[in-house]
Amino acid sequence: MTKREPEREPQPVFLDFEASSLASASYPIEVAWSLPDGTIESHLISPASIERWTDWSAQAERLHGISRAQLLAEGKSPAWICRRLNEQLADQIVYTDAPDYDGAWLNELFSACWGGAPHFTLASADDLLLGNLASACPDRADARRTLAAIKTDARQRLLPRHQARLDVEYLQHLLLATLQYSE
3-class DSSP string for 18-48: EECCCCCCCCEEEEEEECCCCCEEEEEECCC
Residues 122 and 94: beta-carbon distance below 8 Å: yes
Q: Residue 167 — pLDDT band, cuts 50, 70, 90?
A: very high
Residues 150 and 130: beta-carbon distance below 8 Å: no
For 112-133, write each residue's pLDDT tens digit: 987 789 999 999 999 999 999 9
Instruction: Quote the pTM value.
Output: 0.91
DSSP string, 48-62: TT-TT-----HHHHH
Q: Which domains can be identified in the chain, with CATH numbers?
A: 13-182 (3.30.420.10)
Say what the pLDDT of residue 156 is. 85
Dist. CA 57–CA 20, nearest whole Å: 6
Dist. CA 1–CA 133, nearest whole Å: 41
Mean pLDDT computed over every residue of the chain: 92
